[in-house]
Amino acid sequence: MRKIITRNANKNAPVATKSGNSGWTTPIYVYWFIILFFIAATFYILGRSHGMIHNPATLNEEILMQANDYFNAGKLKLESGDIQGAIDDLTAVVDSGAISGSAYIARGEAYMLLGDYKNAMADFNSAIEHDATNVIAFYDKALLEMRLEDYDAAMIDINNALVVAASTDAPSVPLRDLYAKRGQLNLWQKNWDGAIADYTNSLARPDGTVSPNVYAERAEAYTAKGDYVDAINDYASAMQVIKEQLSGVIDADAGEKLSRDVMLYTEKTAALYLKLDNKTAAKTSLEGAYQIAVALNDTETAENLAKLISDLQSSIDADENPQPTQGNVITMDQAKIATGDL
């Protein structure tokens, strides 16, 4: 006859009895204990195999320090151009469970450099989900959306960045830069008034460094509106900022780029003077551009500018010394123009 499990004087202590057919019978909760133990051990081993435990509740100082080391290493690799190495290190931070919006942002920037826009967008979104007050996350996401030509989405994220930054004493992205970027976005969308307002706000901010591009891009908006005098003044301001920057430039390539920007702004200024019918001022501007082209050994540009200067001088001479007309004599070319044959 089969024996059953009985209890001793302690009602809570089970007594194992022997079965007539299958030996000793083990209580079912002992099996569950064994199963749960092995499951926990498996997860622990898997976590250790990756160097870290992924459950944030179990993070200790050692794991956080290791994650910080990976983050710093990833940032250094990103700055040095080792993009894939940076992604590997930053992925280790993300996988560690030491969740950091900064790690997502840095990895997103690395993905952007690789042209992997899908993963970059996913990381910027993760950073925002982790911290909805992170200005850099909104800013970087807007930059990516501008690159993808999704201007409506970019405008939303730039506005979000501005809202967050305005409520912060020292935002991670200066308000000057945020207004300048929104100005550029408005410029691309041909919202001239919006662009001018944003560039003006950018220049009025005390934080950050003034960029000559802000003046130059506002000049483009003024030009589109037909405000040629304001555009000329902005190109002059851009060139003044560059002049100050050139005094501290050591790198030859950086110096050449700045010089070419001045040459471009000088040529655009000449074109604006022509729109104002001020040929003398236009010629003076072109002569300045010519001197820069010569200094840069840019022979082709120098030759083109020299021809423009010569043609402009001929036009000025013609204006100053008009050819006298003889009665109502009409030349053959004039007759053809009048009849539409030329």
In CATH, the architecture of 249-321 is Up-down Bundle (1.20)
Give CA–CA dist 182/155, Å, rounded: 7
**Highest-scoring range by mean pLDDT, 63-67, 80-84, 224-228:** 224-228
pLDDT of 178 strictly over 50 = yes
Look at the domain 59-173 and name its fold.
1.25.40
Q: Please report the pLDDT score of residue 207 as a whole number.
A: 81
- 19-24's contacts with Cβ under 8 Å and 24+ in sequence apart are none
Predicted confidence at residue 147, as pLDDT, reads: 96
d(CA 93, CA 75): 12
Q: Are strands 14-15 and 23-24 parallel, antiparallel or unpaired?
A: unpaired
pLDDT at 44 over 90: no
- Determine what percent of the chain is predicted with pLDDT higher than 70: 75
Select the more confidently predicted residue: 97 or 113: 113
Task: Give the count of beta carbons closer than 10 Å to the beta carbon of residue 240.
Answer: 13
Residue 97, C-beta contacts closer than 8 angstroms, at least 6 positions apart: 52, 53, 54, 55, 56, 58, 59, 63
Residues 6+ apart with CB under 8 A from 158: 138, 139, 142, 178, 181, 182, 185
Q: Are 208 and 176 in contact (CB under 8 A)?
A: yes
Residue 191: the pLDDT is: 98
Query: Is residue 122 within 8 Å of residue 107, measured between CB atoms?
Result: no
Position of tokens 């074109």? 271
User: 176 falls in which pLDDT band (50, 70, 90)?
Assistant: very high
Q: Write the DSSP assignment of 54-76 as a string of letters.
A: --GGG--HHHHHHHHHHHHHHHH
When pLDDT is cut at 50, 70 and 90, the band that residue 101 belongs to is confident
The Cα–Cα gap between 55 and 53 comes to 6
pLDDT digit string, tens, across residues 257-297: 999 999 999 999 999 999 999 999 999 999 999 999 999 99
Banded model confidence at residue 334, pLDDT cuts 50, 70, 90: very low
pLDDT above 80 (res 142): yes
Query: Rounded to an integer, what distance in angstroms lies between the CA atom of residue 281 and that of residue 232?
Result: 11
Q: Region 29-56: what's the mean pLDDT?
A: 48
- Cα separations (Å) of 13 from 121, 139, 296, 308? 59, 65, 96, 106
> Which pLDDT belongs to residue 198?
98
Dump the DSSP string for 190-259.
Answer: T-HHHHHHHHHHHHH-SSS---HHHHHHHHHHHHHHT-HHHHHHHHHHHHHHHHHHHTT---HHHHHHHH
- Is pLDDT of 97 > 60? yes
Q: What are the sequence ranges of the domains in the chain?
A: 1-49, 59-173, 249-321
Measure the CA angle with vertex 270, ends 230 and 183; round to 5°. 40
Whether the predicted pLDDT of 16 surpasses 50: no
Q: Residues 28-59, buried b or exposed e (16+ Cβ, 10 A)? A: eeeeeeeeeeeeeeeeeeebeeeebbeeeeeb
Mean pLDDT of 313-322: 89
What whole-number distance in Å separates Cα of residue 145 and Cα of residue 157?
9
> Does pLDDT of 229 surpass 50?
yes
Q: Enumerate residues 6+ apart whose C-beta is below 8 A from 169.
A: none
pLDDT of residue 30: 52
Q: What is the mean pLDDT of the chain?
A: 82
Does the model's pTM come out above 0.75? no
Residue 164 — pLDDT band, cuts 50, 70, 90?
Answer: very high
Phi, psi at 3, each rounded to 5°: -85, 150
- pLDDT reported for residue 128: 95
- Write out the two tokens for 265: 């702004």
Measured at the CA of 125, the angle between CA 144 and CA 76, to 5 degrees, comes to 70
